[in-house]
Structures are given as C-alpha cells and as structure tokens.
Amino acid sequence: MSEFPRVRPRRLRATPALRRLTAETRLHPSELVLPMFVREGIDEPVEIGSMPGVVHHSVDSLKRAVEEAAEAGIGGVMLFGVPLEKDAVGSGATDPDGILNVGTRAAVDAAGDALVVQTDLCLDEFTDHGHCGVLAADGSVDNDATLARYDEMAVVQAEAGSQLIGMSGMMDGQIGSARDALDAAGFGGTALLAYSAKYASAFYGPFREAVQSSLVGDRRTYQLDGANRREGLREVELDIAEGADIVMVKPAMSYLDVLADTAAVSTVPVWAYQISGEYAMIHAAAANGWIDLEAASAESVLSIKRAGADAILTYFALDLAKRLNTGRI
C-alpha cells in the first residue's frame, strides 16, 4: 500500500471549473424573492437608514423596481405597505384604496407574467399599537377577532391581484380561516404562504423602522420562542394540515436547524426569510472593512439554500440575481 493517501477530496477542489462542476448547492435568480416597501404620501424613493440600498417606494418607483426585478429573473416580490394613518383595527389594510392594495395593483401591472407578486398579510403596519392583531380589552392580542380581520384582508389582497398571500401574523388557525374565506369569495386559485415558524427575534429592528412600526412591548405571546426547535416543526405541520401551499421559516440564519427539520418532512415547498437585521449586519461589517460584502451576501444566502430552502426572501435578491446572471457568483 502506498504511503500516501489514495482518497484525496482536494482533487475536486483543485480548480474553479472542478468546484463548479461538483457543487452540491446552486443558487438561481428564480429562487429569490425581493421584499419591497411601498409608502403612502411620497413621490420618489426614500432611503431606509438602517437598511443600506433599501428604500420606501412611491407607487411609480415601485413599478420601475418591479420591472427591474423581472428583467433580472427574480422569482417574486413581496410587498409591504406603509400607510400615512393607522388605527386600532388597521382599517387601511382592508381599504381597496389603501397603499398596499394600490401598490399591489401597480406591481401586478408592471410584472405581467414575469414574476409572482406576493403580499404580506399582517396588521402590524396598519395598527396604531403596532401589534399584528386586534387587541382585547385587557391589551392582549385577540386571536379569533384577528382571524376575522385577516379573512377580510386576504380577500381584498386577492381582489387587488396578489398571487401569493404571506400569512405572517402567527395567529392560531390563520391558514385554515383565510383559505375558507378566499374559497368562499371565489379566489380558490390564490395561494397561501404560511410564515409557519416565525420566531420572536432581536433581528427585526431595521424592519420596524422600514414599516414605521408603532409597537410598544413585544410579540412573544404569538411569535415563537427562540429556545424551541420542535415547536417550529409543530407549527409547520399544523399549517400544512390547514392548507398552506408553502411554509416558511423566519428568521433564516439563526434558525437553520428548524429550516433543515422542515425541509426533511414538508410535503409542500419550504421557504426562508433572510430578515432585515441579518441584511443590516452584513452591510455594517462590510462598511467597516471587516468582511467582503459581495462574498458574504452570497455565502449567507447559499447557506440558507443548503439548509433546505426552496426559495429565499432576501433584500440581497436583486444584487445576487444580477451577479448570478453575469457569472460573478
């Protein structure tokens, strides 16, 4: 027997061409979804300070940005509305002329069949208390009263043209309730994305600036405890049983174990959301010269794909798509 090893894994790492040929995980622009914010009362894009490169769009600039995303081959855009006025029940969310629904119609018109226009269904952007649901007299979030509001929102969003509704509020029974409401209203073909394993996280901070959140307190009575892995999978299984077309884990990078668990058992597509704090941290470290922005952003999203995500919501989507299209990843 030779004194040297016969098995040399390094052989397949020797050149860029070999590494490309033997890569186990690959990214494609069609697997990326770009979250976007459309804000009422502005005429041009407004930068979001804690999220470099991300803006509040006017309706007109949203159209142009959706067209750019479509040209880059991105799979979809996820829309969030930022209204001028809020109230206790989030009335703007079910107003056909509310900013999210107006933005949805504009995005659908701009996108055509090139990508999937998706909408976030949650009340936090629209309520003056900043919670994701209707409050009971004692200040707690009333689960079942909130479901009634979600049902109304789902129908209005479908009427505006949303092809995929992202149920992000983490109310018990929200998928089954919205499914019934959509079917009864004649929108049986509108798909539901369940934010199934959505954890209470310290990494949401920049997003709350982006949606101009009014939240006081926290959302730990309805979002998952970061200590709980099995509970994430339980929520996934419940949402699939209620009729979810896609399930999602959020945040992504801190919960790759939950994502891998979900991918191992799910009978529907599995997505993950690389959230605002994850995006902002990479930008902040790069701005200080500590890491390379392009390399770190690509690696971070690749890790999410490797853990089992079929598609990824990320604020890096457009940049990554452009680099993938030109062979720079």
d(CA 187, CA 165): 11
Q: Among 86, 250, 305, 322, which one carries the catalytic annotation? A: 250
> Is 63 a known active-site residue?
no
Residue with tokens 């979810």: 244
CB–CB of 179/243 below 8 Å? yes
Burial class (CB in 10 A: 0-12, 13-18, 19+), 73: middle
d(CA 42, CA 56): 9
Q: Among 63, 86, 198, 305, which one carries the catalytic annotation? A: 198
Classify residue 273 by its DSSP letter: E
Closest CA to 106 of 167, 55, 54, 57: 57
> Is 250 a known active-site residue?
yes
Residue with tokens 């200080």: 288
Closest CA to 60 of 113, 106, 114: 106
Q: Is 144 helix (H, G, I), strand (E, B) or coil?
A: helix
CB–CB of 232/258 below 8 Å? yes
What are the Cα distances from residue 184, in Å, to 34, 122, 236, 254? Answer: 30, 21, 24, 38
The catalytic residues are 198, 250
